Amino acid sequence: MSGREHPYAIEVSQLAKKFRVYHDKAVTLKDRVLFRPHQYTDHVVLRDVNLKLDWGKTLGLVGRNGSGKSTLLKLLTGIIYPDHGDIRIYGKVSSLLELGAGFHADFSGRENVNYNAAIFGLSRKEIDAKFQQILDFSELHEFIDNPVRTYSSGMYMRLAFSVAIHVEADILLVDEILSVGDVSFQNKCLVKVRELQGQGKTIVIVSHSGQTVREFCDVVFWLDDGDVRQIGTPEDVMPVYEAALG
């Protein structure tokens, strides 16, 4: 079963992820060969995470810094893989996880749009057809042929977000990137998110903004030090979450 034939857009079961932190890193190959094995600690980032997200719903991931939100988003995207558990995504995914991720600093904005859109699965014909829409949304007309290393962080965000929302994916995964850039463009992005919701897209947003979560999310998923603390509506979860933050 695939696509919207399946009852859920995203299913996550018993997901766990840890990262190994080394305390005595080898500097050279000689160190690696001659000296004892390195001392390390396994840092558990996620424990027994379970999630079922219906089609057309917007999920807000909340939690303190280091709680595992961005790691969960990267697992959903397939950038990293779980140590345990299962992830099933039943549609085409577009993700915006790190500012300018996938951009080559020495290539122009135009070249990066072409390469990024191709990575998302668009054909040459589809990229050509959508290029003007991507450019118009980013508002970077006079800079599009400049190397992206000359872009400000806000310009990076404009271009990256514009590509991500124009690939016609079923599921959009967005990290805290909506907080970058000027207020006018932030509002433009939020209007676009509302438009995508109206089209029935499934969206996962990592956010520290209680207002954004309340306004845009149907479901809130609260992570606390790698554990699922609470799942529910914004009305149920956000007051408890904000009280816990102090």
- Between CA 64 and CA 226 the distance in angstroms is 10
- Does pLDDT of 1 surpass 50? no
Q: Which two tokens stand for residue 137?
A: 């949304």
In this predicted structure, what is the pLDDT of residue 40? 77
Q: What is the pLDDT of residues 179-222, one digit of tens each?
A: 656 788 888 888 999 999 999 999 999 988 899 999 999 999 99
234-238-244 Cα angle (round to 5): 160
Task: Place 27 in a pLDDT band, splitting at 50, 70 and 90.
Answer: low
Parent domain of 222: 3-245
Among the residue ranges 6-10, 30-34, 37-41, the one predicted with the least confidence is 30-34
- Between CA 135 and CA 162 the distance in angstroms is 8
- Between CA 155 and CA 138 the distance in angstroms is 8
Task: Place 246 in a pLDDT band, splitting at 50, 70 and 90.
Answer: confident
- Does pLDDT of 146 surpass 50? yes
In this predicted structure, what is the pLDDT of residue 213? 94
Strands 171-174 and 93-96 come out as parallel
- Between CA 220 and CA 92 the distance in angstroms is 22
- Does pLDDT of 99 surpass 80? no
Task: Place 26 in a pLDDT band, splitting at 50, 70 and 90.
Answer: low
**Which residues is 58 bridged to in the sheet?**
203
Proportion of the chain in helix, strand, coil states, percent, rounded to 5: 40, 30, 30
In this predicted structure, what is the pLDDT of residue 6? 86
In the chain, the number of structural domains is 1
**Which residues is 17 bridged to in the sheet?**
46
How far apart, in Å, are the Cα atoms of 127 and each of 123, 146, 167? 6, 19, 9
In this predicted structure, what is the pLDDT of residue 32? 62
What predicted TM-score, i.e. pTM, was given to this entire model? 0.86
CATH number, domain at 212?
Answer: 3.40.50.300
**Percentage with pLDDT > 70 across the chain:** 89
Q: What is the pLDDT of residues 43-96, one digit of tens each?
A: 899 999 999 999 999 999 999 999 999 999 999 998 899 999 999 999 999 988
Task: Place 10 in a pLDDT band, splitting at 50, 70 and 90.
Answer: very high
Among the residue ranges 9-23, 89-103, 104-118, the one predicted with the least confidence is 89-103
Q: What is the pLDDT of residues 148-187, one digit of tens each?
A: 999 988 888 889 889 988 988 999 998 876 665 678 888 8
Among the residues of the chain, which ranges form H helices? 29-34, 69-77, 109-119, 124-138, 153-165, 183-198, 210-216, 234-245
